[in-house]
Every structure is written in structure tokens, then in C-alpha cells.
């Protein structure tokens, strides 16, 4: 199973250790995401690997909401 485009963009940020603009399918305009935020969201997404339903729910949120959830849960 391939990752959704927003997750692929976040993985590219982590891989290249850079910040980048990420366009979420539900967002109106691109948002700049840094390495720390991208890493937290990816860690959360990978942690939900046992539950594809929860992964899909996470991806359905806007980027700021995804970041908020990631920072609340990732320690």
C-alpha cells in the first residue's frame, strides 16, 4: 500500500532534512512544514500502522490539526 500524497511529502522532508511547502488535498493553500513537525507526524502515522482506519482518519485532517495531534501524542 502506498502512502497518501501528503504523507509522501512529509517523508521527503524528513529524508532530505529540509523544510518545504506541503499542499494538503483539503487545504486551500500550501503550508510550510519544518523537519521537526514532519518527523512527529510521520512517527504518529507509522505508529498507527496496525490500524489503517486510524491512519486514514489522521490523513483526513488539515496539516495544523495533524501537527497538534502529533505533538500531543509523540513523546
pLDDT over 90 at 60, yes or no: yes
Position 54 scores a pLDDT of: 94
Encode pLDDT of 11-56 as tens digits: 999 999 999 999 887 767 899 999 999 999 999 999 999 999 999 9
- Number of domains, the chain: 1
Residue 21, SS3 per DSSP: strand
Residue 44, SS3 per DSSP: helix
pTM attached to this predicted model: 0.92
Residue 32, SS3 per DSSP: strand
The residue segments making up the domain with residue 26 are 5-73
Instruction: Round to whole Å and give the CA distance between 49 and 27.
Output: 24
Residue 38, SS3 per DSSP: helix
Amino acid at each position: 500500500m502506498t502512502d497518501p500524497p501528503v504523507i509522501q511529502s512529509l517523508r521527503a522532508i524528513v529524508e532530505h532534512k529540509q523544510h518545504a511547502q506541503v499542499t494538503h488535498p483539503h487545504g486551500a493553500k500550501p503550508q510550510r512544514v519544518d523537519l521537526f513537525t514532519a518527523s512527529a507526524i510521520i512517527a504518529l502515522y507509522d505508529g498507527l500502522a496496525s490500524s489503517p482506519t486510524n491512519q486514514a482518519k489522521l490523513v483526513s485532517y488539515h496539516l495544523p490539526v495533524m501537527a497538534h495531534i502529533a505533538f500531543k501524542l509523540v513523546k
